[in-house]
């Protein structure tokens, strides 16, 4: 099989964070490349009627416990940030601005955003926090901030959200392989198997 | 480790159906017994604000596709029944009536209900359908129907639902091992690992 592995996520999604540590290796094992596609999960929530998981009775306390447990299970740093969840427009817009110039730099930036937020518990909502992450990677913070404010990248992110909905992306993370969608961090095992077996 | 493995599910839950094929073997591999605990997922929905998955935009079409794919993946018979979802009060009450007398017979009955509904696409909502399943297992259909109508078993099922909520059961299937909850069919892999490693 050929083609990319689409990795859809929201920077404010814990399950997206956990999946981000494994998706590249899973794609590469199958000779594929994972293309990261941050989007605003809130747009999906408007359609599905979902609310942020941590605010839902029963599911909220379950997920808080589950995230701690997954951090230990996967051996990745995990902190519940405060505030949580947040709108991650700035990070996502900067990501797409970078991706157009340098896909590898964009992915490094995305990983740094995820690590800052869920690994270290530092908010990535304000523009200056996102600019500081860009600076730490040798990217101009001023240019990053300008991109996050530019109508062009605001429109680009909006289009990404519409694309997500049109492709049936119903949560974060959501992986698409040859048109086949898999929702949830715990489905990455199945994604790997689908890639190796060529489906079933 | 000792203790049972609690397997919470709704008879109208496709993911509960898929999990029902593996939970006993997972428990037995770890020297444990899975105790099946059907409950009314609707009671949980009232708290979580969830709706039946198949009726939710985006998630609905995803799940219909996912169930077909899981049927092929696990190699178990799968049919989307019509009507779906249904209220499975009668099946659950008969289950608890049977379980008090004969746990093995109750589990056989539960498996037969799941198979009739999702394996063959036959509704198990009406009392006579549930009584017929009981009859097919050598259990008196009249006695089963009487149990499903008895105030005692109505109250018992209500208590089960309250217990589910008090234990944090937030969906179907939901597995509890030594106080540790795991939500979803795709978490059975982790349940198996938890049992063998004794947690992490």
B91-111 average pLDDT score = 98
Cβ contacts of B69 on chain A, cutoff 8 Å:
180, 200
pLDDT, position B145 = 98
pLDDT at residue A47 in the model: 82
Tell me which residue of A154, A163, A88 sits closest to A118, measured CA to CA.
Answer: A88
At B55 the pLDDT is: 86
Give Cα B13 to chain centroid, integer Å: 7
Cα distance from N-terminal residue to C-terminal residue, chain A: 13
Inter-chain residue contact A58 with B51, CB threshold 8 Å: no
Q: Point out which residues pair with B177 in neighbouring strands.
A: B5, B180
What pLDDT was estimated at residue A49?
A: 82
Q: Does B58 touch chain A (CB under 8 A)?
A: yes
Q: What is the pLDDT of residue A140?
A: 98
For residue range B120-146, list pLDDT tens digits in order.
999 999 999 999 999 999 999 999 999
Helices (H), chain B: 14-20, 23-29, 41-48, 59-74, 89-101, 103-114, 127-136, 141-149, 151-166, 188-197
User: Rounded to an integer, what distance in angstroms lies between the CA atom of residue B72 and that of residue A193?
Assistant: 13
**A73 contacts in chain B (CB < 8 Å):** 190, 200
Within 8 A of B47 by CB-CB distance, chain A residues are 57-58
Q: Name the closest residue on chain B to residue A172, using Cα atoms.
A: B59
pLDDT of residue B183: 97
Cα-based distances in Å from B19 to A28, A164, B10, B13: 30, 30, 11, 10
Please state, in angstroms and rounded to a whole number, the distance separating the CA atoms of residues A62 and A74.
Answer: 18
With CB atoms and an 8 Å threshold, state whether A181 touches B62: yes
> Which chain A residues touch B183 with a CB distance below 8 Å?
62, 66
Q: How far is B163 from chain A (nearest CA, A)?
A: 13
Cα(first)–Cα(last) distance of chain B, in Å? Answer: 13
Q: Is A81 on the interface with B (CB under 8 A)?
A: no
Q: What pTM did the predictor assign?
A: 0.95
Distance from CA of A168 to the nearest CA of B (A): 6
B118 Cβ contact list (under 8 Å, min separation 6): B14, B17, B77, B78, B79, B81
| Nearest alpha carbon to residue B8 among B164, B192, B194 | B164
Q: Which residues of B touch A61 (CB under 8 A)?
A: 168
Q: With a cut of 60, say whether residue B1 has pLDDT above it.
A: no
Mutate one of B41, B55, B58 to test the A interface: name it (highest A CB count within 10 A).
Answer: B58
Give whole-number Cα distances, A48 to A128, B16, B50, in Å: 32, 22, 10
Q: Which ipTM did the prediction report?
A: 0.94
Average pLDDT, consecutive stretches of 10 residues, N- to C-terminus, chain A (200 residues): 89 98 98 97 83 87 97 98 96 98 97 98 97 98 98 97 95 96 97 96
What tokens appear for B113 in the block?
């209900």
Q: Which residues pair with A141 in a beta bridge?
A: none
Query: Is residue B128 left, alpha or beta, with left meaning phi > 0 and alpha meaning psi from -120 to 50?
Result: alpha
CA–CA separation, A43 and B146 (whole Å): 49
Q: Please tell me whether residue B57 adopts helix, strand or coil conformation.
A: coil
What is the per-residue pLDDT across B8-48, written as a single tens digit (0 to 9) for each? Answer: 999 999 999 999 999 999 999 999 999 999 999 987 888 88
Distance between A58 CA and the closest CA of chain B, angstroms: 5
* Distance, CA of A114 to CA of A130 (rounded, Å): 11
pLDDT of residue A194: 97
Instruction: Using CB atoms, pick whichever of B62, B73, B189 lies closest to residue A183.
Output: B62
Residues 6+ apart with CB under 8 A from B159: none
Would an 8 Å CB–CB cutoff place A46 in contact with chain B? Answer: no
State the nearest Cα–Cα gap between B49 and chain A, in angstroms. 8
Among A170, A175, A179, A188, the strongest candidate for a mutation testing the B interface, having the largest count of B CBs within 10 A, is A170
- Chain A partners within 8 Å of B164 (Cβ): none
- Chain B environment of A184 (Cβ under 8 Å): 184, 186
């Amino acid at each position: 099989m050929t083609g990319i592995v689409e990795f859809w996520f929201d920077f404010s999604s814990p399950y997206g964070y956990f999946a981000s540590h494994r998706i590249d290796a899973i794609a590469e094992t199958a000779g594929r490349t994972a293309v990261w596609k941050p989007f605003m999960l809130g747009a999906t929530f408007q359609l599905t009627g979902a609310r942020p998981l941590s605010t839902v009775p029963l599911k909220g306390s379950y997920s808080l416990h589950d995230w701690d447990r997954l951090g230990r299970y996967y051996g990745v740093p995990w902190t519940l940030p405060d505030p949580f969840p947040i709108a991650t427009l700035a990070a996502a817009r900067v990501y797409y601005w970078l991706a157009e110039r340098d896909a590898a730099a964009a992915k490094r930036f995305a990983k740094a955003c995820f690590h800052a937020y869920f690994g270290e518990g530092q908010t990535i909502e304000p523009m200056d926090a996102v600019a500081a992450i860009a600076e730490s990677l040798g990217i101009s913070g001023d240019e990053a901030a300008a991109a996050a404010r530019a109508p062009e990248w605001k429109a680009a992110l909006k289009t990404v959200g519409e694309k997500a909905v049109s492709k049936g992306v119903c949560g974060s993370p959501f992986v698409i392989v040859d048109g086949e969608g898999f929702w949830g961090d715990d489905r990455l095992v199945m994604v790997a198997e689908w890639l190796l077996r060529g489906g079933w």
